[in-house]
């Protein structure tokens, strides 16, 4: 597109007439970050800020901002949003923000996702300013969008800020240039089920590993999205909101009372892939007998493949070893191609 859609031929601002456009499922994911101090990160993760409930307040503000986008951005259409999610992550000195918005209609939800990130980020700033008045909201940007005439769009790697779909050089060096990558042109989402990681009391030792591995396989990767065990059903629904080709979860597959990932996954599946889940269990059990206790499942919801992996680094490593030779063939079959021999 080489012209501005919101400016007419006389150079005047206008609202685009979308009455002739078809209603399609529209999804957008946006991201940003609040640059702050290590002290603020420590206080927020310990839920010990002067203003309580920092993340929950910012999450609600972001959702509310998405709903009010047409009031804030003058030429945006009023949309009936079917879903808005806002999630946060941490580095040593930043709080990362990711928002997704979904609707079915004649126009996209990019501005709703971007507004959710901006309002959530500004709310974070308000919550932490007593400790760090110099905090800065940076990099509010669109990551992916789906639907409409232009279909699937992913932020180009050349403009990537190091988020979801980056590849690590050390992985690329181990992949032959002539070997097609299983995830080339495909999307994946990583979900972590861990009450400790969600609360900030434990380090995430599995989600980043999966994100790096999938990036090396050629996927555009969203996540890791971290949820407490009790919220994993919501987490999986969030992961599916962008309709990725692949969702891999880690954690919550054991026999403890709080392990609920298999049940939440089964509720979403149209068809199971029991052989995949069994192969992952067998790979783990060969080295560690207790791996047999994993209740992880695998299957299909629509054209998305969902695979549960255990919450341990070893279990994730075994899962990656099983999935690596399967993914290209599996995803091709799910998309309607691939050999059945």
DSSP string, 247-299: EEEES--SSSTT--HHHHHHTT-SEE-HHHHHHHHHHHHTT-GGGGG----EE
Would you state the pLDDT for residue 178? 38
Identify the band that residue 157 occupies on the pLDDT scale cut at 50, 70 and 90: very low
**Which among 17, 53, 92, 126 is annotated as catalytic?**
126
Stretch 84-108: mean pLDDT, rounded?
84
User: Rounded distance, CA 337 to CA 323, Å?
Assistant: 18
Average pLDDT (226-238) is 90
Q: What pLDDT shows up at residue 169?
A: 34
Tell me if 193 sits within 8 A of 249, measured CB to CB. yes
Determine the Cα–Cα distance for residues 54 and 48; give it in Å rounded to an integer: 9
Provide the pLDDT for residue 103: 83
DSSP annotation string for 123-175: HHHHHHTTT-TT-EEEEEEEEEEE-STT--EE--GGG--S-TT---HHHHTTS
Q: Does the pLDDT value for residue 166 go beyond 50?
A: no
- pLDDT score at 153: 74
Q: Strand order of the sheet with strand 304-309?
A: 220-227, 187-193, 246-250, 304-309, 298-301, 271-272
Mean pLDDT of 83-98: 86
Q: Give the pLDDT of residue 148.
A: 60
What's the confidence (pLDDT) of residue 10? Answer: 65
pLDDT digits (tens, 9 = 90+) for 123-144: 999 999 999 999 999 999 988 8
Q: For 230, what's the count of Cα atoms within 13 Å in the CB-facing half-sphere?
A: 3
Mean pLDDT of 61-71: 92
Q: How much is the pLDDT for 150?
A: 60
What are the pLDDT digits (tens) for 2-56? 565 655 566 666 565 655 555 677 888 888 999 999 999 888 887 666 555 888 8
Looking at residue 19, what is its pLDDT? 59
Is the bond into 119 cis (omega within 30 degrees of 0)? Answer: no
Summarize pLDDT for 167-207 with one digit per residue, the tens.
333 333 333 333 456 666 788 999 999 998 888 888 889 99
Residue 291 above 50 pLDDT? yes
Can 126 be counted among the known catalytic residues? yes
Sorted by sequence, the CB contacts under 8 Å of residue 54 that are 6+ apart come out as 44, 47, 124, 127, 128
Highest mean pLDDT pick, 169-173, 233-237, 306-310? 306-310
Element (H, E) at 84: strand 81-90
Query: For residue 341, is pLDDT > 70?
Result: no
Average pLDDT over residues 65-85: 86
Distance CA 261, CA 235 (A): 10
CB 110, CB 28: distance < 8 Å: yes
pTM, 2 dp: 0.56
List, for residues 259-281, the tens digit of each pLDDT value.
Answer: 999 999 999 999 999 999 999 99
pLDDT above 90: residue 296:
yes
């Amino acid at each position: 597109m080489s012209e501005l859609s919101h400016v007419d031929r006389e150079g005047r601002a206008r609202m685009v007439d979308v009455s002739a456009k078809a209603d399609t499922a529209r999804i957008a994911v946006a991201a940003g970050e609040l640059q702050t101090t290590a002290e603020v990160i420590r206080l927020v993760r310990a839920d010990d800020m002067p203003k309580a409930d920092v993340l929950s307040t910012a999450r609600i503000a972001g959702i509310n901002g998405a709903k009010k986008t047409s009031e804030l951005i003058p030429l945006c259409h009023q949309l009936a949003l079917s879903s808005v999610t806002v999630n946060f992550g941490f580095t040593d000195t930043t709080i990362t923000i990711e928002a997704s918005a979904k609707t079915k209609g004649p126009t996209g939800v990019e501005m709703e996702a971007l507004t959710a990130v901006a309002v959530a980020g500004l709310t974070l700033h308000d919550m932490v300013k007593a400790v760090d008045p110099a905090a800065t909201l940076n990099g509010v940007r669109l990551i992916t969008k789906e639907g409409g005439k232009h279909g699937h769009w992913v932020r180009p790697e050349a403009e990537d800020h190091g988020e979801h779909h980056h590849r690590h050089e050390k992985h690329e060096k181990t992949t032959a240039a002539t070997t097609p990558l299983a995830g080339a042109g495909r999307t994946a989402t990583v979900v972590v089920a861990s009450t400790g990681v969600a609360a900030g009391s434990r380090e995430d030792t599995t989600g980043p590993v999966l994100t790096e591995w999938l990036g090396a396989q050629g996927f555009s990767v969203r996540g890791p999205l971290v949820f407490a065990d009790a919220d994993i059903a919501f987490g999986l629904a969030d992961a599916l909101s962008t309709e990725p080709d692949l969702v891999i979860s880690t954690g919550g597959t054991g026999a403890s009372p709080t392990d609920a990932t298999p049940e939440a996954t089964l509720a979403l599946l149209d068809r199971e892939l029991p052989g995949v889940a069994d192969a992952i269990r067998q790979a783990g059990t060969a080295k560690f007998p207790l791996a047999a206790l994993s209740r992880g499942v695998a299957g299909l919801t629509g054209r998305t493949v969902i695979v549960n992996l255990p919450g341990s680094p070893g279990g994730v490593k075994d899962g990656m070893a099983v999935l690596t030779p399967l993914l290209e063939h599996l995803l091709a079959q799910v998309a309607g191609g691939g050999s059945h021999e």
